């Protein structure tokens, strides 16, 4: 393919968007564009967008808006809005960003190259947000995906797209479409390719991985995990996101029995109130969620748990919020991702009455985060003195006080434990990709510190 220029991809949002951006980079490479991290050198700019929260949506429009002036100096520059906001807005995106060239929906990636050619042939604006019953199955081009990334040891792999749960606060079913699972053979082939490129850890992605393969009548998610567990070169398997209503005993047994599946589960609860859970259309009760956690801890006693929580959902009372706080006390998650509810125009909850005051949302969110910080610190403190295995990811960004003076030839490195905790430690060598044992000496709210065992 003849060289056409450089491509810059700006990614906003979730892990699935990071994965999708790698696919877009590979497509651009096939059409003659080399990936660049220098925005000034770009001949095509792609903003891969997220619409899960209003702030993320505004970031996308703000990023693309700056190119009005730049395009006057570089009229050949092609600007692309891709992903969830593109799917949601369609041709309306041109009203806010008149200089935009391509609006690429979440199910139109396979047609991206054709849209580029259409613009290059002289058409100023093109939109493709057409749905598809098929999932995009292209295998990764590791030379493109890894081109500007130091950390090659951990990668995301999307195993399914779309969602049909229709939680009332969520736009995913409207911007990602109906649930569709990839073929297991394609997933295994992709992970084999990644393993041969030096990847040691993969994270399987889907809006609800627990329902993988059900619509297609294929293998189940636990069976897929078993196949991936047999792939040489892969040391760790993670996955997100699991829906509590579909968490099966077979998956619990897979976490327990498959050696490469990490002893960590992200299980979004969203609220501790049955009234709010029903209004959210989550499909489970507080009691059912707690019972699932009990089953997990029975079979996987050392499992680390994380969750998502929304505070200030319409009509959430003080008692409802206290139910959520009590749930955190009872379960003691290792970590949480908590957000104040914000309306999304295409989600049913935007039409709900009894909206919560913004200040009240903020106060509740702060109280929740303060409680969780105490719980996380407590759980991290319990690890002091223990020896844990860490997959080394690279140099540590966080510097320990006094390290420079005492380090001599040591470098400060960082990695993750099986339970997804960040661990900082000194090392004489760059050991990226190695699995090493670290004795934990100090604990912080968001990380651990230790030394290689025996050093």
For the chain, domain boundaries = 5-128, 142-381, 387-452
Q: What is the full DSSP assignment across 113-129?
A: HHHHHHHHTT-S-EEE-
DSSP state of 43: S
Give the 3-state secondary structure of residue 15.
Answer: helix
Q: How far is CA 389 from CA 236, 270, 435, in A?
A: 11, 31, 6
Q: Do domains 5-128 and 142-381 have the same CATH topology?
A: no
Q: Torsions phi, psi of 98, nearest 5?
A: -60, -25
User: Digits of tens for pLDDT over the chain (455 positions)?
Assistant: 677 899 999 999 989 999 999 999 999 998 999 999 999 999 999 999 998 888 889 999 999 999 999 998 899 999 999 999 999 999 999 999 999 999 999 999 989 999 999 999 999 999 999 877 777 776 655 555 434 454 579 999 999 999 999 999 999 999 999 999 999 999 999 999 999 999 999 999 999 999 999 988 889 999 999 999 999 999 999 999 999 999 999 999 999 999 999 999 999 999 999 999 999 999 999 999 999 999 999 999 999 999 999 999 999 999 999 999 999 999 999 999 999 999 988 899 999 999 999 999 999 999 999 999 999 999 999 999 999 999 999 988 777 665 554 556 678 999 999 999 999 999 887 678 999 999 999 999 899 999 999 65
What pTM, to 2 d.p., does this model score?
0.90
- d(CA 366, CA 309) in angstroms, rounded, equals 12
**Going along 251-334, which residue ranges are E strands?**
264-266, 304-311
Give the pairing of strands 33-35 and 44-49.
Answer: unpaired
Give the pairing of strands 422-427 and 411-417.
Answer: antiparallel
Strand order in the sheet with 335-340: 264-266, 304-311, 335-340
Give CATH for domain 5-128: 3.40.50.12160
- Looking at the DSSP bridge assignments, the partners of residue 270 are 309
The fold of 142-381 is pyruvate-formate lyase- activating enzyme (3.80.30)
Q: Torsions phi, psi of 72, nearest 5?
A: -70, -30
Residue 94: burial class (beta carbons within 10 Å; 0-12, 13-18, 19+): middle
């Amino acid at each position: 393919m003849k060289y056409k220029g450089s491509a810059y991809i700006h990614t906003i949002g979730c892990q699935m968007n990071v994965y999708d951006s790698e696919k877009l980079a590979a497509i651009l490479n096939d059409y003659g564009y080399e990936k660049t991290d220098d925005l000034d050198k770009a001949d095509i700019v792609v903003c891969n967008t997220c619409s899960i929260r209003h702030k993320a949506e505004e970031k996308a429009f703000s990023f693309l808006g700056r190119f009005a002036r730049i395009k006057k100096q570089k009229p050949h520059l092609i600007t692309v809005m891709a992903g969830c906001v593109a799917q949601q807005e369609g041709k309306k995106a041109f009203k806010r960003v008149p200089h935009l060239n391509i609006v690429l929906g979440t199910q139109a990636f396979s047609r991206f190259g054709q849209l580029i050619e259409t613009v290059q042939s002289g058409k100023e604006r093109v939109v493709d947000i057409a749905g598809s019953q098929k999932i995009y199955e292209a295998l990764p081009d590791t030379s493109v995906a890894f081109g500007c990334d130091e950390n090659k040891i951990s990668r995301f792999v999307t195993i399914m797209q779309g969602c049909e749960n229709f939680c009332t606060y969520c736009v995913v079913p409207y911007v990602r479409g109906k649930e569709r699972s990839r073929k297991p053979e394609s997933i295994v082939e992709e992970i084999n390719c990644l393993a041969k490129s030096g990847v040691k850890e993969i994270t399987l992605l889907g809006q609800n991985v627990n329902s993988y393969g059900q619509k297609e009548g294929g293998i189940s998610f636990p069976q897929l995990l078993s196949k991936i567990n047999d792939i040489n070169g892969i040391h760790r398997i993670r996955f997100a996101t699991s829906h509590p209503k579909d968490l099966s005993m077979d998956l619990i047994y897979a976490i327990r029995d498959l050696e490469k599946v990490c002893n960590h589960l992200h299980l979004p609860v969203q609220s501790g109130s049955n009234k709010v859970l029903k209004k959210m259309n989550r499909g489970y009760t507080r009691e059912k969620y707690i019972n699932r956690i009990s089953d997990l801890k029975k079979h996987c006693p050392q499992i680390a748990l994380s969750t998502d929580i929304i505070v200030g959902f319409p009509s959430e009372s003080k008692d409802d919020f206290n139910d959520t706080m009590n749930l955190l006390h009872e379960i003691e998650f290792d970590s949480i991702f908590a957000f104040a509810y914000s309306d999304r125009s295409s989600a049913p909850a935007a039409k709900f009455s009894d909206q919560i005051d913004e200040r009240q949302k903020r106060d509740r969110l702060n109280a929740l985060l303060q409680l969780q910080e105490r719980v996380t610190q407590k759980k991290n403190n319990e690890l002091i003195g223990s020896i844990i295995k860490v997959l080394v990811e690279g140099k540590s960004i966080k510097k320990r006080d006094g390290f420079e003076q005492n380090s001599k030839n040591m470098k400060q490195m960082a990695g993750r434990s099986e339970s997804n905790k960040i661990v900082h430690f000194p090392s004489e060598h760059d050991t990226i990709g190695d699995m090493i044992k670290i004795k934990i000496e100090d604990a912080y709210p968001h990380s651990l510190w230790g030394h290689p065992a025996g050093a």
